Amino acid sequence: MNDLKKPLDAAQHPIFIMGTQRSGTTLLTRMLSAHAHIFVQNELPLIKVFVGDRSKSTIIKKISEIIKRKHGSSVDELVSDKGIKCWGLKDPQLTEYIEELKAFLPGSKFIIIVRDGRGVANSYIENKWGLGTNAYTGALRWKEEVQQQKAFMKLAPENFMLIRFEDLVTDMPNNLKKVCEFLNIEYSDTMLNYHKSDAAYVANKENINTQRKPDVQLANKWQQRLTKKQIDIIEYAAGDELNANNYTLQGQNITLSPIAMFYYKLHQKIVGEWQLQFQLKRAKIKGKVKQWRKQN
């Protein structure tokens, strides 16, 4: 009887992988998806998932319908026919839907991955969709989202696992074993070779590192990329949360004036809007070129 109930339970209790953007959620998804009995969908148009009826059953149904269109199998079919024992969804924008995700407690499990805010802010700045992010606004964004995620954790601590990106890339085997134990699924070393399998998403500049064997240097890249001033600013804006996650501060203890903080916020608003319009226009032109090539 337990074996008959297991597929139904698996189908109705997805796992969710959360974190700020550029925190390693895609990398963790790649690792878990290399497990024969785990399926994690890498991002969906969440606005379509959470619009209208936001009951747990409706949300699962919407996710399942999108997964079927993308992969040819619904969640029920993945569980009953494909041997999937654990399925879920990863999306850094899930933080925006914490209220809706409360419906999945206590049945579902959540994995929150945290990355050093200085590394995240640096990645925001360098990313083409960074939308004018500077050291100050990037730090504030990281701090706010991490605090939202950790507040969510307090509602049902036993349903959450917090893992640091730096720990994951420096000791994959032990940390993945802990993840599998949390998910109540047997560990498989196939997850260590995730980079040898095809990804279920289109590779681009933003996710290229998830196509390769993990490089421990990624965790400290920000130390070479950020200026001393940028590090000082990030630590001023988010030093308390960096400390709370056991990240050692390196910069000088500075204070930003109200005028400086206003400038950084205004900079992101103006430059961010310009950058957004530029990228949208660029994407539109690329789409037209691609369509023209198909026709000719």
Asked whether the predicted pLDDT for residue 209 surpasses 70, the reply is no
Q: Is residue 81 part of a domain?
A: yes
User: Which pLDDT score is estimated for 43?
Assistant: 87
Q: Is residue 220 part of a domain?
A: yes
User: Which pLDDT score is estimated for 103?
Assistant: 93
pLDDT band at 79 (very low <50, low <70, confident <90, very high): confident
- H-state helical runs in the chain: 2-12, 25-33, 46-49, 56-71, 75-81, 98-101, 117-126, 135-153, 165-170, 172-182, 222-225, 228-244, 258-295
Residue 227 structure tokens? 């200026």
Q: Residues 243-255: what's their mean pLDDT?
A: 95
User: Which pLDDT score is estimated for 285?
Assistant: 64
User: Which pLDDT score is estimated for 278?
Assistant: 58
pLDDT band at 218 (very low <50, low <70, confident <90, very high): confident
- Backbone angles phi and psi of 82, in degrees to 5: -100, 0
Q: Residues 167-195: what's their mean pLDDT?
A: 93
pLDDT band at 287 (very low <50, low <70, confident <90, very high): low
HSE toward the beta carbon, residue 150, CA cutoff 13 A: 12
pLDDT band at 290 (very low <50, low <70, confident <90, very high): low
Question: Which DSSP state fits 183?
Answer: T
Q: What dihedral do alpha carbons 274, 276, 282, 284 form, nearest 10°? A: -130
CB within 8 A of 71, min separation 6: which ones?
Answer: 78, 200
Q: Is residue 20 part of a domain?
A: yes
Cα 67 from Cα 63, distance rounded (Å): 6
Q: Is residue 153 part of a domain?
A: yes
User: Which pLDDT score is estimated for 54?
Assistant: 86
How would you classify the pairing of strands 38-42 and 86-90?
parallel
CATH number at residue 154: 3.40.50.300
Q: Residues 7-13: what's their mean pLDDT?
A: 65
Average pLDDT, the chain: 84
User: Which pLDDT score is estimated for 294?
Assistant: 64
CB within 8 A of 153, min separation 6: which ones?
Answer: 110, 112, 160, 162
pLDDT tens column, 12-71 = 889 999 999 889 999 999 999 999 999 999 888 898 999 888 899 999 999 999 999 988
Q: Is residue 143 part of a domain?
A: yes
Token pair 């400038």 is found at 263
pLDDT tens column, 267-283 = 878 876 666 565 556 65
Q: Residues 132-154: what's their mean pLDDT?
A: 93
Q: Is residue 158 part of a domain?
A: yes
Q: What dihedral do alpha carbons 159, 165, 171, 174 form, nearest 10°? A: 0
**Of the ranges 2-6, 41-45, 150-154, which one carries the lowest mean pLDDT score?**
2-6
Q: Is residue 262 part of a domain?
A: no
Range of the domain at 42: 2-256
Q: Residues 238-262: what's their mean pLDDT?
A: 94
* Residue 213: count of CB within 10 angstroms of its CB: 11
Q: Residues 130-140: what's their mean pLDDT?
A: 82
pLDDT band at 125 (very low <50, low <70, confident <90, very high): confident
The domain tally of the chain equals 1
Q: Is residue 157 part of a domain?
A: yes
pLDDT band at 291 (very low <50, low <70, confident <90, very high): low
